[in-house]
Structure 1
Amino acid sequence: MTMTPALPARIGKAAVGALGLLAVSCGALESVVQPTIPLLQRELGMGPTGGALLGILLPIAGTLATPLAGRLGDRYGGKRVLVPMMIVVCVGGLMSALAPGLPVLLIGQLLQGAMVGALPLSFVIVRKYLSAGESKVAIGVVSGFFVGGGMAGTLLAGPVAEQLSRHWMFALPTFAVIAATLLVLRLVPKDPADRPDDAGFDWPGLALLSGALITFMLGLNLAPDLGPLALLGLVLLLAAFVAGWIAVERRAASPMIDLRLLARPMMWKSSVLTFLICVGTAMSIFLVTQLWSASGDGYGFAASPTEIGLFLVPGTVAATLAGPLGGGWERRSGSRAVATIGVVVMAVALIGMAAVHSAAWHLVVGKALVALANGLIVTAMTTSVATSVASTETGVATSLVLVTRVLGMATGGMLGGVLLDAGNSSESSYATGFLLAGVVTSLALLITRTMHKGAKA
């Protein structure tokens, strides 16, 4: 009789809750800069270049830290890597809170970027100690809390900075990260290492992947201001990094990312799907907030930052609930069903906002539906990937989905800005942007229709 191998241990709701609190705290700390860049520019005397650099430094650091954290977590154990990484994040948060000027703030943001790696490491832990079905729900909870924390940080950063100071908008979420890390240290058991310490590390692969990600992110942010030759140079540099990375990974004894993992249908389909819906989501976020604050001829609502924060509350609630709902739904019905319905809901909401945006509540409802659909889809893809690979691949596999999420959000935000600039922020440019976001989102149906129907896609 074949015996099913027993799990090494079990973790209870308190441990999963500690990981969820850490995700909330990290999400809040990650999101406080973007809505307050104009305020930081005024207080620190930054020009447009400094503001742009401040806005992209943390996402760049996050895209680099995420696959590194996933790889190390798979090899040495999730908790063993998570706690030191959170110490780095806390140091970065305190530096940002106490920063007297831009240079120290930039260093703090660079260190804070490690927080994105908390997600794949949390997934490594729950995947190792819970069954596949229970892991889906736990991953959904952690993912939803991270998104909810990000929304909360976006809402509260401006009021905290204005009523208290810019220092407190970094300090408060940093204190929360410290408290949550202590809870994780106490409640989460140490997961054993899966691979020997002398397995070697693919430093050339990490360097080339870093170069590719940095070039891509810089290209997105600088593209509108670059001439054709400079833009072509960036594209060629990106192609060279990618080609070099592929060549190195194919020959490495212990590659940073096994290309055979990327070639698996579940892996590349999840990544492409995540990228497309995050492009649509980021475009809608940018356009909605701009339209609320606009005061044009017959359009816009001239809303204050506080009013915009209130308008975003339903979307924050929807995004927070979407994680647990998506994890449980994916467990019962499979990733194809969740992703297909999520894509349809998001596309309909975006196209609806393109057609009808004459009242603020139209955008409130549309934004909430987009947030709900995004949370459902990203959670479904993450849980499917996490539970369809070996436990020793959980970290690196989920980190790939999370990196495509960051890249998709960055791409969508850039496209939204380009559209408004090209259309001089006219009403038609907003409608065109929503429509284009809906079309991009609808393309994801080409991926969902090829996915397996079963729960294990």
Structure 2
Amino acid sequence: MSAALTGPPVRTGAVVPVLASAGITVALMQTLIIPVIPELPRLLNASAGSTAWAITATLLAAAVATPIMGRLGDMYGKRRMLLISIGLLITGSIVAALSSSLLPLVVGRALQGFAAGVIPLGISIMRDELPSERLGTATAQMSASLGVGGALGLPAAALLAENVSWHALFWVSAGLGIIMFGLVLRFVPESAVRSGGRFDVLGGVGLSVGLVSLLLAISQGGDWGWTSARVLGLFALAVVAILAWGWWERRTSEPLVDLRTTARPQVLLTNLASMVFGFAMFAMSLVVPQLLQMPKATGFGLGQSMLASGLVMGPSGLVMLLTAPLSAKISAARGPKITLMLGAVVVAAGYGLGSILMSSVWQILLVSLLIGAGIGLAYGAMPALIMSAVPVSETAAANSFNTLMRSIGTSVSSAVAGVILAQLTINLGAYTLPSENGFRVVLITGAAAALVALAIAACIPTRSTPTETPATAEAQTPATA
């Protein structure tokens, strides 16, 4: 097995499309199960609150796996950890596909979440292997795959859910995972750039406890009650665990996350902007499907099916992918800071337009395309900002931490949007539904978040000295592959 994971495959131009496809496959897991969420209580003979764990488990597992896989990739080989991550996705998909009750489904979804490290690992492999003239466009495409997979997953999952058994969702994801595993094994080389050292077990445990407590409180606060003892206790545990983790990371010689590097202004501000941008991005995923599927009897709903709403959202994912090369060109000409700021402006404009144009399908499509273009610009700039401020030996860990910041932003966005839509409602017969003003407030909140990201990005300092290139890093780092 070791030889299979570390043996050098033939290097071809397929590296970038293979890694980007792997990223899209992993990102598909975000929206894979959304079409069947309303049916899960009946299918699994469980309560609606219990079946929500099919989403929560993936969120928590991804938060834990992302920084840990990044650090292990820097230490033991990024391709090795990439293959292990895809292997977990395959395993989780098969477990979920074979499930007929809640527990194995949640276990399978958690295993799928552990594959979240694929995207930052892929970006780091690109930095190690690609020449500088190709790196910007390649990393922009890989970074954008996080949004692309989420956007394309909804119509694909809706199509399967409406025409075949819900188990097919997971058999298809297992098949995609097997294909990606084979392609990575064949076309993606293992880099000799490694940091070595020992894994910070205590740091991994501390960060995991802090993140799980924080995200569990955020994701379940609406159901458990924001002032309940359980939620307040989780928030308190998160604060204590993260402070203790920070104290430990500053004192250990081989930390899970080098906080001194993370505290550099360029890295710190980029991570903060990424978290706020993650908040802004996810508002679209929450509002657009609901607006499209809201009954026409409400006076503002468009009465579309889940499949139709997915097809409306799907093109935004393609726009993200097509915008990635443009993001790289702007970054090369003006710097990634300007690209990130431009992306924030476009997203803010999209949400502002969306708060006005809500009355027809073509208007929603236009808004989603505009927001998708802004996300493609911004997500393409983030890894460039991170990689220009950290040494090559810490690339995977730094990119993983940045991806984690985006995920925290999306989790907070989900909670905030849920509170807004639960407070601003209308009555339609026996049902209580979100009001038009509720959707409008969420969209305006998304625009405000994008403007906050713009303000943070404007403060990011511009580096005056170049960072190491892959070639110089290999010369400085003993080849341990």
Aligned letter for 2:414?
G
My pick for the range that moved more, 299-308 or 136-145, is: 136-145
Are the counterparts in 2 of residues 70 and 121 from structure 1 also a CA contact under 8 Å?
A: yes
* Structure 1 position 228, deviation (Å): 2.2
Judge which range, 152-161 or 57-66, deviates more.
Answer: 152-161
Inter-CA distance 260–355: structure 2 relative to 1 (3 Å threshold):
same
Q: 2-side partners of 1:408 and 1:146: how far apart?
A: 14
> Are the structure 2 counterparts of residues 155 and 20 from structure 1 closer, same or farther at C-alpha, using a change threshold of 3 Å?
same
Q: Is the Cα contact below 8 Å between 2:302 and 2:359 reproduced in 1?
A: no
1:348 aligns with 2:349: yes
Size of the aligned set, in residue pairs, is: 448
Q: Does residue 1:117 correspond to 2:117, yes or no?
A: yes
- After TM superposition, list the pairs within 5 Å mapping 1:57-72 onto structure 2: 57-72=57-72
User: In 1, distance between residues paired with 2:311 and 2:84?
Assistant: 36
Q: For residue 311 of structure 1, what is the aligned residue in structure 2?
A: 312
Once the two structures are superposed, the pairs formed by residues 33-432 of structure 1 within 5 Å of their partners are 33-192=33-192, 194-196=194-196, 199-224=197-222, 225-226=224-225, 228-230=227-229, 231-295=231-295, 296-424=297-425, 425-432=434-441
Q: Which residue number in structure 2 is paired with residue 446 of structure 1?
A: 455
- Aligned partner of 1:16 in structure 2 is 16
Distance 1:235 1:24, change over 3 A: closer
Quote the Cα distance in structure 2 between the aligned partners of 1:423 and 1:368: 27
CA contact (8 A) 1:148 1:319 kept: yes
3-state SS of the aligned residue for 1:443? helix
Q: Distance in 2 between matches of 1:222 and 1:111?
A: 20
Amino acid at match of 1:400: F
Q: Describe the SS at the equivalent of 1:194.
A: coil
Matched residue of 2:256: which SS? coil
Q: Please say if residues 90 and 173 of structure 2, whose CA atoms lie closer than 8 Å, have aligned partners that are also in contact.
A: no
How does the TM-score come out when normalised to structure 2? Answer: 0.88
Contact 1:278 1:374 survives alignment (8 Å): no
Q: Tell me if the contact between 2:82 and 2:118 (Cα under 8 Å) persists in the aligned partners.
A: yes
Cα distance between partner residues in 2 of 1:432 and 1:97: 38
Contact 2:74-2:396 within 8 A present in 1 as well: yes
Find the residue that maps to 2:355 and give its secondary structure: helix
> Quick one: percent identity of the two aligned structures?
27
Matches of 2:461 and 2:13, distance apart in 1:
31
**Secondary structure of the equivalent of 2:109?**
helix
Residues 309 and 228 (structure 1 numbering): CA distance in 2 closer, same or farther, change over 3 Å?
closer
CA distance in 1, matches of 2:324, 2:304: 30
CA shift, 1:132, in A, is 3.7
- Output the amino acid matched with 1:207: V
Shift of 1:260: 0.4
Supply the AA of the counterpart residue of 2:445: L
The reply on whether 1:28 has 2:28 as its aligned counterpart is yes
Q: Which amino acid aligns with 1:13?
A: G
Listed as ranges, the gaps of 5+ residues in structure 1 are 1-7
Query: Unaligned regions of 5+ residues in structure 2, if any?
Result: 1-7, 426-433, 468-481
Shift of 1:320: 2.4
Which amino acid letter does the alignment assign opposite residue 457 of structure 2?
T
The superposition leaves residues 384-405 of structure 1 with CA deviations (integer Å, 9 ceiling, x where unpaired) of: 2124321101001100110011
Report the CA distance between 1:64 and its aligned residue.
Answer: 0.8
- Return the letter of the residue paired with 2:89: V
What is the identity, as a one-letter code, of the residue corresponding to 1:41?
P
SS at match of 1:228: coil
Letter in 2 for 1:330: S
Q: Is the 8 A contact 2:66 2:114 kept in 1?
A: yes
Q: Judge conservation of contact 1:140–1:325 (CA < 8 Å) in 2.
A: no
Q: How far apart are 1:308 and its partner, in Å?
A: 0.6
CA deviation string 1:83-141 (max 9, x = no partner): 12222221111111121221111111111112211112212211111234422222122
- What letter is aligned with 1:445? L
**Structure 1 CA distance, aligned partners of 2:263 and 2:84?**
32
Between the aligned partners of 1:290 and 1:377, the Cα distance in structure 2 is 25
CA distance in 1, matches of 2:193, 2:357: 54
What's the CA shift for 1:452? 4.0
- What TM-score do you get using the length of structure 1 for normalisation? 0.93
Aligned-pair distance for 1:454? 7.0
* Alignment-mate amino acid for residue 218 of structure 2: L
Conserved in 2, the CA contact under 8 Å of 1:93 and 1:171? Answer: yes
